[in-house]
Amino acid sequence: MTVMKTSMRNFFAHKGRMALSAIAVLLSVGFVCGTLVFTDTMNTTFDKLFAATSSDVTVSAKGASDTGETTSDNGKPPVMPASVVGRVKSAQGVKAAEGTVFSTSVTVVDAKKDNLSPSSGAPTIVGSWNGNDARTMKITSGAAPKGSDQVMVDADTADKHHLKLGDTLAMISAVGTHDAKISGIASFQVTNPGAAIFYLDTRTAQQTLVGKTGVFTNVNVTAASGVSDARLKQNVVSALGGHYKVQTAKETADANQKSVESFMNVMKYAMLGFAGIAFVVGIFLIINTFSMLVAQRTREIGLMRAIGSSRKQVNRSVLAEALLLGVTGSVLGIGAGVGLAVGLMKLMGQMGMHLSTADLTVAWTTPVVGLVLGVVVTVLAAYLPARRAGKVSPMAALRDAGAPADAKAGVVRAVLGTLLTAGGGFCLYLAASADKATGGSLWLGLGVVLSLIGFVVIGPLLAGGVVRVLGAVLLRAFGPVGRMAERNALRNPRRTGATGAALMIGLALVACLSVVGSSMVASATDQLDKTVGTDFIIQSDGGQMITPQAVRAVKATPGLKRVTEYKTTEADYTTPDGRTLKNTDITAADPTYATDLRVKTVAGNLKDAYLPDSMSVHENFAKAHDVHLGSKIRIAFKDGATANLTVRAITSNDGLIDAGAKYTSIATLAKYVPADKMPLDQLVFATAKDGQQDAAYKSLKSALHDYPQYKVRDQTDYKKALKDQIGQLLNMIYGLLALAIIVAILGVVNTLALSVVERTREIGLMRAIGLSRRQMRRMIRMESVVIALFGALLGLGLGMGWGATAQKLLALQGLKVLEVPWSTLITVFVGSAVVGLVAALIPAFRAGRMNVLNAIATE
Amino acid sequence: MTSAVTIPRHGGTGGRTAVAARARQVVKAYGAGETRVVALDHVDVDIARGQFTAIMGPSGSGKSTLMHCLAGLDTVTSGQIYLDDTEITGLKDKKLTQLRRDRIGFIFQAFNLLPTLNAIENITLPMDIAGRKPDRQWLARVVDTVGLADRLKHRPTQLSGGQQQRVAVARALAARPEIIFGDEPTGNLDSRAGAEVLGFLRQSVDELGQTIVIVTHDPVAASYADRVLYLADGRIVDEMYKPTAEAVLDRMLCFSGGHPQTPDFDARGRTS
């Protein structure tokens, strides 16, 4: 009990010294809990949405997806004849059945041709206004659509785009473009996470979305009272036979939930990964804090030992303090996590995804996970310092007080660190020289982990050399103050090493990713220059297909030499080795594509792949399935007939663009797939007549003005888009890594603040013999800068090594060019110096303010 | 500020007042109202230039406070303190720091040296901070006097307690301050090492004309001084010129009710 009491007293006596460690725990736990609460809340929102919007039983066409999204390549939803409704009604236990039509392959634009689709990635849905929707939507102004010139829009979309009754909208589908005026605005009765929804009357919906009347995409079936959904489903299935997809409300909701969940899980685990990095960085901070507290308390611990405390008791008292710290930090972190989740929801709201705080879901597991993680990590981190405290000899109580003796880095550390680093380096070397990406990535992973641990272990030894060099370059100019700052940074290499290592981890990842990212941009640019022989690429950013009317508009543009259409679809392959590959991609393009993209071949000529009943495969595929020039592959096209295609070219793997594609001609595809099932174009390439590029670019842009969902890009635009895309991704990752870096900065502040306390007497002495406040502050700032730069140098070096290795490894997959983003790296380095200055602000201020007399007073 | 190059500027009176530091009606009080504690009660004192002064008194007599105030380390509640002709009471921190750096030397009881700097770096630190170049000849003489020539590259942890205090003395002397203050400079040393350090201080007064003020409760240490001031309850109650250890001890017994605080009292007296 005394142990606990001492721990409690120590903990509260050193509140300030513990504060930064607590914040580190708080941040990490907060991030974990925030992620969990946020994803749980998203799930709840979608659960409610799906539960509310699905009818008891839904009947849809055989080819429809479980979730109801339109995935057909031809841009039209799969439909069934209207007679199905009658047959459903005749089934037992059916109270009502209503046929509906809807499609998610539609783009809706306003009168100014601005795209009304959500930018968040949520779908745009155009459908018939039906009883099921009437249950979940409330018409807030105007009336439901009636007749072909009316459309009703959801209130969120109307607000966002300032739409009013009477405004004209155009719906662009694979069938054509349909204009209608807004007749009404309806708002959701449950939280809508962001889909834009437009309603037409049934007949108009059929014509606009499918191109003919008398068909439905869904039949919503309502059960008579006392009939369960499962029972109803059975009845409906027996009434219809097996030709249709029949799902209960629960099945529909589950299918939807599953598709949302898989996306959510990616996000969840990515965020938890970054929280994990922050935890690792936090460990360094906690180790440093406890090491310093134990060192400062050596005399006290010696006294405890002298009067009879056992090693175990001393050890336990330190761990008990860690436990208190862990609990405090975690509890605060759980609260912060809920706050973070609410903040994220607000942020999502800004981006067009509406989430309601009423749905805020804190599962019981969330606080438990947060608390356990926070406490376990804290206690584990404090274990080493606690053990060291246990080893303090009773003699320590008798020794002279003063600054704790400088810790010397040991030989074991040197040997272990060198071995680990060398091992890591060797793994990286193996990864760089691997000729297979799969084996290489394993080496890369191992190399990254080993070299990181190696650097952490050897850090205190490197601190000596690196700090001296930094000191010689940066600090000597500041005379004795600089010299003292350098010596202070050197006096406890373990501390400097651990503080720097914390910063190193985050910055190593930043450096590695920036190297890989800029290499990706450089490699892709290089490839584009070498292989693309066309001027303009037309595609949508949301992945929508290009409607025939838009393709016609492109083809009608003056100044173009040629236009190449590019479609992808799926087929079941039966290869010469006798195996069947289900749902495998096949790319159909005009023969001119061979000119538009100069793909290297290892055998045959790519132009020949566009001959009738011909195709090409890529090198890996050929190897894996025993395919040679002249081999025949049986291709069963989705929605079409089966063909026997002859392989007339084998493309090289050597390329980033369209890597692994298997080509055939559109003409061949058209032979086997009926016209109304033909997939729409995914991409369209346009090449201008010589010398008319600029004019053609302008004409193309204006030709596609009515179709804002499609972008025309020349090569410059395309490269820029690519660069922006990678840049955005990197920025997002940097944003998440910022958490780890902030924790590392707290670590620098912490180390300095505790050092200042530890050096109270030294500071007093220096002030007494004439060091001014300003010089004192400068000294501490410089020490901080040197520590930060030490971490930055190690991190950037390590990260560049990782990045370069990753590039060498990925060179196998087309990442041919290594580009080191010097400007980014230098910015990070200089930024670290600034971080050092900022971290020193408070410790320096406190050192400057320290009372000289207190500092020199004898005990 | 010196008139002759060959004579150290603090040597003799050198055209300056014979008083190196003065306190006039100095009061130092802590707290207010009922909890008010007066550490110094209207103290008047003159510290003669080129002399070795020891301030003695029982615990809580205010001797350390007086020294801290004279040295510009602490502020006074009322009264004035002059260093030579400069009134230091009321100076801002910046000026006070400069004054300590350029005109005052310090020797503390313990923890006199920065552990990160070696002996010679510690010795020249005040001048380094000020951005002044040390006078090589003078420095060599000081180092020689305190007998540290072969220890200059050693870190404090590699030196014995006595050696560390000698480095501290060298540091105080090296910058040629107008006055050196010592706060129990031999309090942590055994009698032999203490005698050595005191010997150097004496020598620097006799040979170099240095002005030195130390606070001590050790009659032996006080016996090295030219003059001993006795403080009790924040007032100067007595003084003695040319003291001997025995005389000091006798006088102290009168002031501390027969319980002198002389834990390491050593009657062997001077050894130099």
Which pLDDT band, with edges at 50, 70 and 90, does B3 fall under? Answer: very low
How many contacts does A have with B, using Cβ atoms within 8 A? 79
Question: Which among A480, A772, A856 is the nearest to B125, CB-wise?
Answer: A480
**Each residue of B135-160: pLDDT tens digit?**
888 888 888 878 888 888 988 888 88
Q: What is the dihedral of CA A452, A455, A459, A465, to 10 degrees?
A: -140
* Per-residue model confidence (pLDDT) at position B7: 36
Tell whether A761 lies on the interface with B, counting CB pairs under 8 A: yes
pLDDT at A800: 94
DSSP state of A94: E
pLDDT of residue A376: 94
The verdict on a CB contact (< 8 Å) between A768 and B115 is no
Out of B93, B111, B171, whose CB is closest to A761? B111
Query: Comparing A176 with A332, which gets the higher pLDDT?
Result: A332
Parallel, antiparallel or unpaired: strands A124-128 and A196-200:
parallel
**Chain B contact set for A768 (CB, 8 A):** 73, 100, 106, 108
CB contact under 8 A, B111 and A768: no
Q: What is the mean pLDDT of residues B245-255?
A: 78
Confidence of residue B15 (pLDDT cuts 50, 70, 90): very low
Q: Is the CB of residue A489 less than 8 Å from the CB of residue A787? A: yes
Please enumerate residues of B whose Cβ is less than 8 A from a Cβ of A: 68, 73-74, 93-94, 97-98, 100-102, 105-106, 108-117, 121, 125-126, 128-131, 157, 171, 183-184, 187
Of B108, B129, B184, the CB nearest to A480: B129
pLDDT in tens, A835-846: 999 999 989 998
C-beta atoms of A766 and B68 within 8 A: no
Contact assignment for A858 to B109 by CB distance below 8 Å: yes
Q: Which of A101-105, A160-164, A493-497, B143-147 has the lowest mean pLDDT?
A: B143-147
**pLDDT > 70: percent of chain A:** 96
Mean pLDDT of chain A: 86
Residue B14, pLDDT > 50, answer no
Give the pLDDT of residue B6: 35
pTM of the model: 0.82
Supply the pLDDT for residue B5.
34
Across the interface, whether the CB atoms of B100 and A768 are under 8 A apart is answered yes
* pLDDT of amino acid B262: 43
The percent of residues in chain A predicted with pLDDT above 90, rounded, is: 23
Residue B208: what residue type? L
Residue type, position A699, single letter: S
Residue A766 forms contact with B (CB below 8 Å)? yes
Q: Is A403–B157 a contact, with Cβ atoms under 8 angstroms apart?
A: no
CA B115 to chain centre: 22
CB B271 within 8 A of CB B199: yes
- Bridge partners of A417, per DSSP, are none
Contact assignment for B101 to A770 by CB distance below 8 Å: yes
DSSP state of A681: B
The alpha-carbon gap from B6 to the nearest alpha carbon of chain A, in Å, equals 27
Query: DSSP labels for A388-428?
Result: HHHT--GGGGTS--SSPPPPPPPHHHHHHHHHHHHHHHHHH
Residues of B in contact with A480 (CB under 8 A): 125, 128-129
Strand partners, B87: B82
Mean pLDDT within A467-475: 85
User: How many CA atoms lie less than 13 Å away from A292 in the CB half-sphere?
Assistant: 28
Q: Give the closest of A400, A403, A775 to B129, CB-based.
A: A775
CB A403 within 8 A of CB A305: no
At residue A313 the predicted structure's pLDDT band, cuts being 50, 70 and 90, is: confident
- Long-range contact pairs involving B156-161 (C-beta distance under 8 Å, separation at least 24): B156/B113, B156/B114, B156/B115, B156/B117, B156/B119, B156/B122, B157/A405, B157/B115, B159/B119, B160/B193, B161/B188, B161/B189, B161/B190, B161/B193
Taking the C-alpha atoms of residue A324 and residue A4, their distance in angstroms, rounded to an integer, is 10
| B111 contacts on A by Cβ (under 8 Å) | 402, 761-762, 765, 856
Q: What is the pLDDT of residue A803?
A: 93
pLDDT category at B264 given cuts 50, 70, 90 is very low
- Say how far apart CA B59 and CA A654 lie, in whole Å: 88
Q: Measured between CA atoms, how close is B265 to chain A, in angstroms?
A: 20
What is the DSSP code string of A163-196? --TT-EEEEE-SS-EEEEEEEEEEEESS---S-E
Mark yes or no for CB contact B114/A770 under 8 Å. Answer: no
Confidence tier at B63 by pLDDT (50, 70, 90): confident
What angle do the packed helices A15-53 and A365-390 form, to 10 degrees? 160
pLDDT band at A72 (very low <50, low <70, confident <90, very high): low
Of A13-22, A38-47, A559-568, A799-808, the least confident: A13-22
Q: Fold for B51-71+97-255, please state it.
A: Rossmann fold (3.40.50)
Q: Which residues of B touch A858 (CB under 8 A)?
A: 109-110, 184, 187
CB contact under 8 A, B97 and A406: no
- Tens digits of per-residue pLDDT, A35-53? 999 988 888 888 888 888 7
Q: Which two tokens stand for residue A249?
A: 């409300």
Distance from CA of A481 to the nearest CA of B (A): 7
Contact status, residue A515 vs residue A800, Cβ threshold 8 Å: yes
- Please, what sign has the CA dihedral across residues A119, A123, A129, A134? negative
- Distance (Å, whole) CA A538 – CA A456: 49
pLDDT band with cut points at 50, 70 and 90 for residue A401: very low
Q: Which residues of A touch B116 (CB under 8 A)?
A: 484, 487-488, 490-491
Q: Do A770 and B171 touch (CB under 8 A)?
A: no
| Chain A closest-CA separation from residue B191 CA (Å) | 18
**Do residue B97 and residue A488 have CB atoms under 8 angstroms apart?**
no
Report CB contact under 8 Å: A856, B108.
yes
Please tell me the distance from the alpha carbon of residue A688 to that of residue A692, in angstroms, as a whole number: 6
pLDDT confidence of residue A794: 94
- Separation CA B123–CA B171 (nearest Å): 4
Tens-digit pLDDT profile for residues A145-173: 998 899 999 988 898 889 999 999 999 88
Nearest C-alpha of chain B: how many angstroms from A804?
Answer: 40
Tens-place pLDDT, residues A355-397: 777 788 888 889 999 999 999 999 999 998 888 888 887 777 6
Q: How far is A395 from chain B (nearest CA, A)?
A: 18
Rg of chain A on CA atoms, in Å:
34
DSSP one-letter string for A707-751: -TTEEEEEHHHHHHHHHHHHHHHHHHHHHHHHHHHHHHHHHHHHH
* Cα A171 from Cα A520, distance rounded (Å): 38
Residue A69: the pLDDT is 65
A72-89 burial code (b ≥16 CB/10 A, e <16): bbbbbbbbbeeebbebbb
Give the pLDDT confidence of A670-720 residue by residue, as tens digits: 989 888 888 888 889 999 988 888 889 999 988 888 888 888 998 888 889
What are the pLDDT digits (tens) for A160-206? 889 999 999 999 888 888 999 999 999 888 777 778 899 999 999 99
Question: What is the band of A77 on the pLDDT scale with cuts at 50, 70, 90?
Answer: confident
Q: Is A643 helix (H, G, I), strand (E, B) or coil?
A: strand
